[in-house]
Structure formats: structure tokens, C-alpha cells
Structure 1
Amino acid sequence: MSSAAVVTSGPLEAALDDYLAHLRVERGLSANTTAAYRRDLGRYVRHLEAAGRTSLGAVRSGDVAAFLTAVREGADGGAPLSPSSAARALAAVRGWHRFAHAEGQTADDPAADVRAPTQLRRLPHALSVDAVGRLLEAAGQGEGPVPLRDRALLELLYSTGGRISEVVGLDVDAVGWLGAAAGDAGAEAVRLRGKGDKERVVPVGSYARAALDAYLVRARAPLAAAGAGTPALFLNTRGRRLSRQSAWAVLQGAAQRAGLRDHVSPHTLRHSFATHLLQGGADVRVVQELLGHASVTTTQIYTMVTPDTLREVYAAAHPRAL
């Protein structure tokens, strides 16, 4: 038997496989998220092996700090990372070492005191209410089932604040009634499945509900006729589930027709959803639940994009503001 027929992995690779299995099975991370961890931690393994470290127990804090410097500068042969990407890689490294220490695989945690590079905090871009209205109107221009689908898709993205992957991943039976008995009027809602396979129920406004009704009654059946049958809510012209890339193209086309000069992405509608809710007086913790954020600190960045509202509240509430 030739040596090429046997493929073995070292202790670091074996430990990494164990950690990735933990993320996938016990923490329920998606395949895409697990793959991102593998990319970052695979680069870390190569860095450690080049430094002569053969096991996690041999790693010291200086090795972790050196890895951070190497990926920022591209000194390890990989592409240089931005501060945000380097911070993401460091977070993956910290998680691995924390897990290994908790499982008794190492005597200490060498990554605990290594700090991420300072990042400029970029504010999320949000469209004005008027711009969102023009975008949604532009999505429904034209005849046939596709404009009805496109309008329903973008209305639902803005109405729920859902991620593009969550919305194109919806099945027809994920749309239902919230807090209403059979035959009673109620609020339309969707069940979105987010990061970590966590499910949340999000109400749907009347505009999105009307667009969904029009799509389901007049457009979905003609699109479905081209395929072999699928429970997907949003279909392409071949009768299959609409992809994230196709949904992105729908949004770009609508933004162009609406004359929006700023860059518009699916996350722009998510940012706009959160910003407009907060401007309307919604509690940040309610917005956190609607967005599916694990921590309220992630949601609080949206409060930074509503200075006019903050000034108005301050002027109205502080006894010596005026």
C-alpha cells in the first residue's frame, strides 16, 4: 500500500474536528456558519503548526497574539484581514480554546486575554420611509406572476425585518394567523428560522399581507406549474425555491427602477425595519426579539441612527432641556 493511500490528521486537526462537531450538533450552527469557523480555525491551525505547536495544550497567549498580527498583515501567506474580519477570526479562536479548557483538554485558556483590534463602528444604512415606499412600488411594476412575487418578497422583507436567507427559506405553511381562532380576523404572522436554527414568530403588516395574498392567489400557481412541486413560498420561473442570489437581483432591479442611488442590499431593508420601528417609539427589546438578535447590544446600534428622535425625546423629557 502506498503512503499516499493513507491520510492522517495531526492532533490539532483532530481537536478542530471535535470542536466543529460540537458547534454543529450541540449548538445547532448551520452548515454555512460551521464552514466559516473551519476556514478561520483552519488558518489558525496552519499558523500553529508553522510555529511548531503540535497540540492545543502547547499553545501560549503569545501564539494567539502572533496569529492575530499575522492575519492582519497577511504575514502567514493568506490575504490580509480587515479589523472586523480579524476580530471574527479571533472570536473563533477564543471559542475553540474556551471549549477545550472547559472540556479538560487544556490546563488553561491562552486566548482569554488577547484583545481584538480596534474597529470603527459603522452605522447601518437605512432608507427613508419614502424611499422604501418607492422601492416597493417599483418591485411590482409589470404584468404577470413575477412582479406580484417580487412585490410580495420585498414587502415581507421590510415588514418582518427578516434576513434574506430566512425569507426565501419560508414554506407556504410558515405563513399563518397570530392570536386568532379559525375564521376570526387576526394578525398575519410568519415563522422565521434564524441563526442557530432558532425559530421566531414575527407579525406581518397589512401591506405585506395584501401583497402576499395577491401573490398566493394569482401568481404562485402559474410559477409552480413549471416545477415538480415544492412547499417553498417564493418560487422562481422554473417552479423551484427562489435562491438568495435571485432575491438579491430582484432587490437590485427594484432599487434601480426606483432611482435609488445609494447601495441597497437585503440587509438595508432589515436596517430600515429596525430604524423605523425605533423612530416610531418601539422598545429596543421588542425590536431585538423581532430581529432574532441573541443580545440587545447588537440591536442597540440602531438607536445610533435616530439622532432626531433622540433629540426630540430629550427636549420633551429633560427638565432643563429647554
Structure 2
Amino acid sequence: MESAYTAERAISPTSGAVRWVVVESRTYRLHSEATGYLASLRARGCSPNTERVYAGRLALYLNYCHLRRLQWNAPGFTGLSLLQQWLVETPLPARTGRLVPGRVRHRSRGTANAVMTVVGEFLRFGALHGWVASRTTDLLAQPKLLRFALPGYDAGERGQHRHVQAAAFRFKTAQAGYEDLSPAQIRHMIASVSRARDRFLIALLACTGLRIGEALGLHRADLHLLASSRIVGCGIEGPHVHVRRRTDNPNRALAKSRFPRGVPVIAELVALYTDYQYERDRVPQASAEPMVFVNLFRTARGRPMTYANTKEMFDRLARTVRHACRPHMLRHSAATRWLRDGVDRDVVQRLLGHVSPLSMETYRNVDDAEMRAAVEHVAFLREQS
């Protein structure tokens, strides 16, 4: 299918700021409403990666409307229902260099749900600005009785808050869960990379639970690795790193949390950073760069590492160690290890930078050994001594 709309990266000729827009493929004329919605994401402080992903999903929706000859602002119930099916039934284009004869890729139901969420938000945004009629946004939700609630959810004295509005166009999907990495796997990952920078990055994520955007957004001034940092006006004792949200990082790395925090680090991590500094000092272009993680082995040496650079590194590492290893797996592994070792949930929540305690529910996995120990503890068939 020839695309009528595409998501494009736009660079301001005056400020150099990078923005994402949706344009007509042939004329490059802006789709003003979609581009206005993307601008609202920036105004809300969403990350550039969120803006990029949403731009692609908006272009996908507009292409569907163009294909079915629907008005984007009035797709109707049938149009939205068929969109949901179209998303999972339409084959995806083959990835460059990865074409496998006879193999056809499709979107998962989870991905389709994510696209439908963006479409719903876009239409509601349009309704606020008078572009979309209320009868269209009324189609997006339906009443639902919340039979099972997360711990801490206030259902009200009479249970009145159990009646909620749920997305009308959403597939039921199984909870995929998170994958853990064992301490042995993490040690193997660190030992399998030849570059001191990459060893430090892996260890930093595994020991602190930082998000990859938080790590890539670190400035050298954020690393307080001495026993005392009072000389620089910091009252936190012991080696630690400061996680701060900055919107002007040149690599567009962004801390998700808007609240700064200090995360302690161990002596072994400080030693790995020292090794990285020796490696970095051999690249003159990196001397004046304030960012911690920079390119040392490819073009644009000395420039900050990007999400794309990091993904390539982890993809290579996964092929070497022969198991999946993604940055967020290290964060999840750290959180699971802390909780399993009995660290107070409030402490773990603070370390991870979560505002809501409900966000912690995804991190506590029960393993087979714990389940066996529980059954052994209450086994009544065993002969009592």
C-alpha cells in the first residue's frame, strides 16, 4: 500500500530543535491537526521518543482512513472496529536485510491496542479544539464493572468507583510480564564486552535500576563518586549519581520522572567508571563533552551516545551471550532482586524513581524456588518428628 501520510523528523532552521510532524507523502504538506497534537505532547514534557512513536501511529491511522475513504475526524463505529482488525491482519513490510522467504510478519494485539490508544487520544484532542464531534469521542469508551482492582485502589464506600469507563476498541491480551536476568547472566554480559564504556553502562543499569534514558542523560557533573561530595555542595554521603530530567540533552535522552533523585553506587562501579575514563581520555574529541556516555569507536567521536547506538550495542551483546538482554531487563532485574532480598518497598520505589506505589506491582516476580519453599513450609503429609 502506498502511504499517503508519513511521520517525518523536522529540524528548526533557527534553533536546531528536533520535532516530529506528519506530512502528506507527495506534497510534504503538514497535516495540521496531527502535527498540532504532537506539539501538545512536547508541551506536556513527553520524551522525543514518545513523540516519534506517536507520529508513526498517527500516520498509520491517517493512511487507513485514506485507504477506506473515511474522514479522519468522523470514522464512525464501523470504521474504528475495522481499524482494530486491519491493524492485526495487514502484513508488515519486511525489515531491511532480514527478508525470510515465506515469512510474513503481523502486528501483535498488544501493538494494535497501543495504536488504538493513540487514535483515541488524538480524536479526544481534536474534540477539545472543535475538529471532532462529540458523537465520535462517545464511541471510544464504554462502561465497565471493575471486578478486580490493584492493591490500594479506593473503590469507594459503596463500591461506586468500581464502575469505570473502559476503552471500547481493545483486544484482550495476556500479560507478557518482564524477563529477569540472573546475577550470573549479568556478570557474563559484563565480561563479554571488550569496551570499558560498555562494561560501565551495563553495570550501572544493573546496580542502580536506572532507565536507559536516565543513564544516557547523565552529565559528568551528576556523578559524585567520592566518599563525600560536600566540596561541591552536595550533602549526600557516599558515592552516588544524580538523576535529573533535562529537556535539552543533545542526544534527546530524557529521564521519565520529573523528580530528581540521588542513587547510591558501590565501589566496584566506581572502579569500572575509572576504567572507562582511561578509555575516554584517549579520544580528544570527547574531552569537552559534558555527557557521560559518548561515542568512542565510530564516526562522530566524542558526541553523546543515542538510543540507537545503545540498541545496536545490546543487540550485538545478545548475539554474543545467546540470550535476550535489553536495558530495561537490567532495571527489572535490579528491582526484583531488591524486593526478593527483603528491601522495603518504599526504598525500592525511591530507587526506581516511581511516583505511585502501584507501579511497583509489575516488578515482584515469584520464582519456582520460592513457590516450592512455600509448599514445603506447609506440607502436612510429611511425617512429623
TM-score past 0.5 threshold: yes
Structure 1 pair 181/75, CA: closer, same or farther in 2 (3 Å)? closer
The AA in structure 1 aligned to 2:291 is A
Partner residue in 2 for 1:133:
187
1:204 equivalent in alignment to 2:231? no
Which residue number corresponds to residue 6 of structure 2?
A: none
Distance in 2, matches of 1:83 and 1:102, equals 29
Q: Which runs of 5+ in 2 are unaligned?
A: 1-25, 95-104, 143-167, 246-253
- Picking from 90, 109, 118, the partner of 1:83 is 109
Q: Tell me how large the CA RMSD over aligned residues is.
A: 3.9
Instruction: Give the stretch that moved more between structures: 185-194 or 71-80.
Output: 71-80
TM-score, length-scaled by structure 1:
0.75
* Counterpart position of 2:63: 46
Aligned with 2:240: secondary structure? Answer: strand
Of residues 72, 93, 98, the one that matches 2:119 is 93
Q: Distance in 2 between matches of 1:122 and 1:159?
A: 24
Q: State the number of aligned residues.
A: 302
Residue aligning to 2:134: 107
Aligned to 1:278: 339
Deviation at 1:179?
11
- Structure 2 CA distance for partners of 1:158 and 1:209, relative to 1, 3 Å: same
1:188 shift after superposition: 1.1
Deviation at 1:67, TM superposition (A): 0.9
Deviations 1:36-79 (A, max 9, x none): 112112221232344444352x3433322221111111189997
Of structures 1 and 2, the one with the larger relative CO (CA 8 A, separation 6+) is 1
Deviation at 1:90, TM superposition (A): 1.0
Of 10, 22, 35, which aligns to 2:40?
A: 22
Kindly provide the CA deviation profile for residues 216-266 of structure 1, in whole angstroms up to 9, marking residues without a partner as x.
3x333223x145731121233233323444444555666677xx4322222
Residues 98-107 or 13-22, more deviating: 98-107
Answer whether contact 1:28 1:196 (CA < 8 A) is retained.
Answer: no
SS at match of 1:230: coil
- Is 1:191 aligned to residue 218 of structure 2? no
Q: Distance in 1 between matches of 2:183 and 2:92?
A: 46
The aligned residue for residue 231 of structure 1 is 290
Residues 178 and 52 of structure 1, relative CA distance in 2, 3 Å threshold: farther
The question of whether the paired residues in 2 share the 8 Å contact of 1:47 and 1:76 is answered with: no
Q: Percent identity?
A: 25
Q: Secondary structure at the match of 1:136?
A: helix
Scaled by the length of structure 2, the TM-score of the pair is 0.65
Distance 1:247 1:199 in 2: 25
The residue identity in structure 2 corresponding to 1:274 is A
Shift of 1:284: 4.5
Q: Please identify, of 192-201 and 272-281, the stretch whose mean Cα deviation from structure 2 is larger.
A: 192-201
Q: 2:305 aligns with which of 242, 245, 249?
A: 242
Contact 2:214–2:243 (CA under 8 A) maintained in structure 1 = no
Structure 2 residue aligned with 1:221: 281
Pick which of 114-123 and 171-180 moved more.
Answer: 171-180
SS of the residue corresponding to residue 268 of structure 2 reads helix
Aligned to 2:156: none
Aligned to 1:157: 205
Q: List alignment gaps of at least 5 residues for structure 1.
A: 142-146
Distance of 1:8 and 1:98 partners within structure 2: 23
Matched residues in 2 for 1:16 and 1:248: separation? 28
Counterpart amino acid of 1:106? A
User: Offset at 1:89?
Assistant: 0.2
Q: Which has the higher helix share?
A: 1
Question: Structure 1 residues 106, 306: closer, same or farther in 2, change over 3 A?
Answer: farther
